[in-house]
Every structure is written in C-alpha cells, then in structure tokens.
C-alpha cells in the first residue's frame, strides 16, 4: 500500500514537473519566435544602419554580437549633436511597456522616431524581445551635445534644415 502511494506520488509529481517543463519550453519557443521576428524587423527597418558601428558602411558585415551596441559617431545639425544609443544597454532595466513608451516619444534627428511611432505595439515588443535576447554589451553612446558646443569625437555635419 505504501509502495502504491509512493508510485502514485511519483507519477503525480513527475507529470507536474513534466508539465512545468513543457510550459517553460513553450514560453521559450514563444520568446524565440518573438525575438526572431524582432531580429527580422531590426534588419528590414534599418535600425542597425545607425545603432551598430560600421554596419551601413560595411554593407551589413558586422557580427551579430555587436549589433545595436550604439555608435560613437555624432550626427551634428541645427538640433545639436546626437548619438545612436546603445539599445542593448538601454533596455537592460526596462520593461517591454517602458520600451513601448520610449518608442512612442519624439526623438532628435536623424532618429526616424516617426517610423518607430507607427509600428504596432506587437512589433515594438518583438524588437524589445530581440534586444533582451542579445543581452547587454558594449559602452553607452556619448552624451548629446547642444548646438552651440563642438563635439570632441568624430561627427557628420548636416546642413541647416531648409525652411
């Protein structure tokens, strides 16, 4: 009788553990499907062009482990000098909802914030999932420099915006 109970307990507990493992696998599979979609979106929406050093100039030949780690190259124009943020560090302590809020806010040029604004929440969250999958790496991009100051590092100079 005792043995019976033991076997029964083992079966119940065993199937519980197996069930939990399946649930975890499912969550993992969902994450990778979501992250894979995020990666695809990052590639076709051109996020690497600015947020990955050397990506645009090398024709996209940058190892994935360096993707979206930000850039030291400044973009200087009437708005001052901006730097493409290290998105992997940026999302480190952020929830998906907080990232959606950032994606809905107005940013300085040449960030095409209006493109990101028009993405669905689902797409923005997929990009977030991909950034989380890549994990934190690299250094933060340099700080924004106001228009009246000259940046110390390399920068691209934009002409004044035509009126």
Applying CB under 6 A, which residues contact ligand HEC?
Answer: 45-47, 49-51, 75, 82-85, 87, 90, 102-103, 107-108, 110-112, 115-116, 127, 144
Smallest distance, ligand HEC to C-beta of residue 20, A: 34
Measured from the CB atom, the residue of 31 and 45 that comes closer to ligand HEC is: 45
Measured from the CB atom, the residue of 67 and 83 that comes closer to ligand HEC is: 83
Smallest distance, ligand HEC to C-beta of residue 112, A: 5
Smallest distance, ligand HEC to C-beta of residue 149, A: 14
Smallest distance, ligand HEC to C-beta of residue 103, A: 6
Measured from the CB atom, the residue of 26 and 92 that comes closer to ligand HEC is: 92
Please report the DSSP string for the chain in residue order.
-HHHHHHHHHHHHHHHHHHHHHHHHHHHHHHHHHHHHHHHHHHHTTHHHHHSTTTTTTTS-S-GGGTTS--S-EEEETTEEEE---HHHHTTT--HHHHHHHHTS---TTS-HHHHHTS-HHHHHHHHHHHHHH-S-S-PPPPPB-TTS--SS-EEEPPPPP-
Measured from the CB atom, the residue of 69 and 84 that comes closer to ligand HEC is: 84
């Amino acid at each position: 009788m005792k043995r019976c109970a033991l076997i029964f307990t083992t079966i119940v507990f065993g199937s519980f553990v197996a069930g939990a493992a399946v649930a975890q696998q499912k969550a993992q599979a969902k994450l990778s499907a979501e992250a894979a979609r995020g990666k695809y979106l990052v590639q076709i929406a051109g996020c690497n062009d600015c947020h990955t050093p050397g990506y645009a100039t090398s024709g996209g030949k940058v190892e994935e482990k360096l993707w979206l780690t930000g850039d030291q190259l400044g973009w200087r124009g009437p708005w001052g000098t901006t730097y493409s943020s290290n998105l992997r560090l940026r999302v480190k302590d952020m929830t998906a909802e907080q990232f959606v809020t950032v994606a809905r806010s107005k940013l300085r040029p040449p960030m095409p914030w209006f493109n990101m604004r028009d993405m669905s929440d689902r797409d923005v969250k997929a990009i977030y999932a991909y950034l989380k999958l890549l994990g934190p790496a690299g250094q933060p991009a340099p700080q924004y420099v106001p228009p009246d100051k000259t940046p110390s590092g390399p920068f691209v100079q934009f002409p004044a915006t035509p009126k």
